[in-house]
Chains A and B, each alone.
Chain A
Amino acid sequence: MNGKRKSGWVALTIVLIFLGGWEAAVRIFDVPVYILPSPSRTFETLAANPQMYLQASALTLGESLAGLLIGVLTGGLLAVLLTLLPGLEGGVMTLAILMKSTPLVAIAPLLTIWLGFGVVPKIVITALMTFFPVLVNVLSGLQHVEPALTDLFHSWNASRWEVFRHLRLPTALPFLFAALKISAPLALIGAVVAEWTGASGGLGRTMWLAYTNLNLPYLFAAIFILAAGGMTLFRLLGWLERKVVFWLPDSRES
């Protein structure tokens, strides 16, 4: 059994032990379902409403991925721009940090007021959340080029664009994946937070309805989906990373 396989089994065992302990605690102490539903009860709820959860998940996932795509594109392109025009870095970064420091929980309702209950404010929030890690990571990736390689390209009389294309861009790829692995789970959270503050559908809406009705199995079922979704996105990106950034040692994954 190789190391990766083994660590997968270890992770699964830990999750099962956690769920088992949770189930046992709820049964032994007879915890009321409006305080904490058991995992089995949560899975039952999930299984009883497949259509509803599937639709809500699809909507939330769609918003997350759309927002993530926009966040990655704007963050990545801005990082490229700042690398090519380093004079702008100070100003743009200050603005980006100001934006990052503004609590999204405060902006989300505003966006709902301005942009309505549809998908647009969710995508905007998600893009805002994922934009910053991508900008910071890709920027540092584009800048952290080995001096020995810079010397070499200089000795070849390579233009600034050629250095960018053949050296900086590939150097930044591992940084982009690091950012994506941070941003993808964040994207789900962003979409859910935005939905929570006012939406006509999605997992956040499901959670909010369940919460206001104290229907905790419904709420937990949505949480389970989110946890599994975030994990799956993270793993998928890890797999993609190993394919694309194949020259890096395996040990640094996940």
Chain B
Amino acid sequence: MNIQVEALTHIFANSRVQRTALAEINFGVKSGQFVALIGPSGCGKSTLLRLAGDLLHPTRGTITLDGRKPPEMRAAHEIAWMAQSPALLPWLDARQNVALAQRFMPVNRHPRLTVDQVLERVGLSDAAGAFPFTLSGGMQQRLALARLLALEASLWLMDEPFAALDEISRERLTTELLDLWQPFHPTVLWVTHNIYEALRLADRILVFSPSPGRIVGDLAIDLPRPRSEANPRFQQILAALRTALGSTANAQVAQ
């Protein structure tokens, strides 16, 4: 799915205060690109994700997804959403959790993968009948990933999906995510705080500055996966990313 963002501004306001979360954002994403959104807290990257997923309506500006508006794309079941909390339904077992997501799909859309096939892909075949409260945090997030996969959407919006996990689970899931992503190759917007995660996963990194959120860096990562930190090019991009992030820190201090 192509994404076109034009003059996008979002202001959170109540009767007393207002805060500009995003100010005049412009960028485009080609179909199938894996884009990491990185920046300090409060830079509006989660807001951008919510706007793209039609969980929020922009104050000004537009987001166009393959020529259509986010509400249309959401109604067409082309957007899959995943956040830091696995957001599983505790009264449903693993299989039922995945099946529920597919249940809302239009009847004329036949999923390519069955629920059991999806569970197999994320390595949860043995836990298909298990209830979420019996699963570890890593396995719960893996189940959330299975559910995302089952939707077969052409846009994945992922808001720090592995941020609450321990480092070991996180590394493993990050690697597995790439294996899951590659055959379907949806467009991904991936919000993260983690520099290495962004460098390992993304085709491109957008660097945001905080309050109001603006894009201050746009780095392409032209490296084959899996990526090694030993690669000099990796270190080069890492340095560039650090510089871009450093400028956001300065911007913060200057305010």
Which one of A146, A156, A247 has the greatest number of beta carbons of chain B within 10 Å?
A156
Contacts across chains A and B counted by CB atoms under 8 Å: 48
In which size bucket is the chain A interface? 10 to 19
Report the minimum CB–CB distance from A158 to chain B (whole Å). 5
17 A-B residue pairings within 8 Å (CB atoms): A149-B89, A151-B55, A151-B83, A152-B81, A154-B54, A154-B55, A155-B55, A155-B80, A155-B81, A156-B77, A156-B101, A156-B104, A157-B74, A157-B77, A162-B104, A167-B89, A247-B132
User: Which A residues form the contact surface with B (CB < 8 A)?
Assistant: 146, 148-149, 151-152, 154-158, 162, 166-167, 170, 173, 246-249
A173 smallest CB distance to B (angstroms): 8
Q: Is the CB of B87 within 8 A of A148?
A: yes
B residues less than 8 Å from A158 (CB atoms): 104
A247 touches B90 (CB 8 A): yes
Residues A166 and B133 in contact, CB atoms below 8 Å apart: no
Do A247 and B100 touch across chains, with their CB atoms under 8 A apart? no
Q: Are A166 and B100 in contact (CB-based, < 8 A)?
A: yes
Q: Which of B85, B101, B151 contacts A146 (CB 8 A)?
A: B85
B-to-A contact residues, CB < 8 Å: 53-55, 74-75, 77, 79-81, 83, 85, 87, 89-91, 100-101, 104, 131-133, 151
Report the bound CA distance from A151 to B56 in whole Å. 10
Report Cα–Cα, A246/B83, bound state, in Å.
25
Q: Evaluate contact between B53 and A170: CB separation under 8 angstroms.
A: no
Closest beta carbon of chain A to B46's beta carbon, Å? 11
A172 to B156 alpha-carbon distance, docked (Å) = 30
How many angstroms between the C-alpha atoms of A149 and B89 in the bound complex?
8
- Which chain A positions have C-beta within 8 A of B54? 154-155
Residues on B with beta carbons closer than 8 Å to the beta carbon of A249: 133
Are B81's CB and A247's CB within 8 A? Answer: no
**Is A148 touching B80 in the complex (CB atoms < 8 A)?**
no
A157 and B106 alpha carbons, distance in the complex (Å)? 10
Do the beta carbons of A157 and B104 come within 8 Å of each other? yes
Expressed in whole angstroms, the Cα–Cα distance for A149 and B79 within the complex equals 16
Across-interface contacts of A155 in B (CB, < 8 A): 53-55, 74, 79-81
In the bound complex, residues from chain A placing their C-beta under 8 Å from that of B75 are 157
Known interface pairs A146-B85, A151-B81, A170-B91; 5 further A-B residue pairs with C-beta atoms within 8 A, sorted by A's residue number: A155-B80, A156-B104, A157-B104, A173-B91, A247-B90
Q: Give 10 closest A-B pairs by Cβ, nearest first.
A: A155-B81, A247-B90, A148-B87, A156-B104, A148-B85, A170-B91, A152-B87, A157-B75, A149-B87, A247-B91
Chain B nearest CB from A118 CB (Å) reads: 42
Which residues on A sit within 8 Å (CB–CB) of B55?
Answer: 151, 154-155
B75 to A, closest residue via Cβ: A157
Most chain B CB within a 10 A radius of its CB, from A152, A173, A249: A152
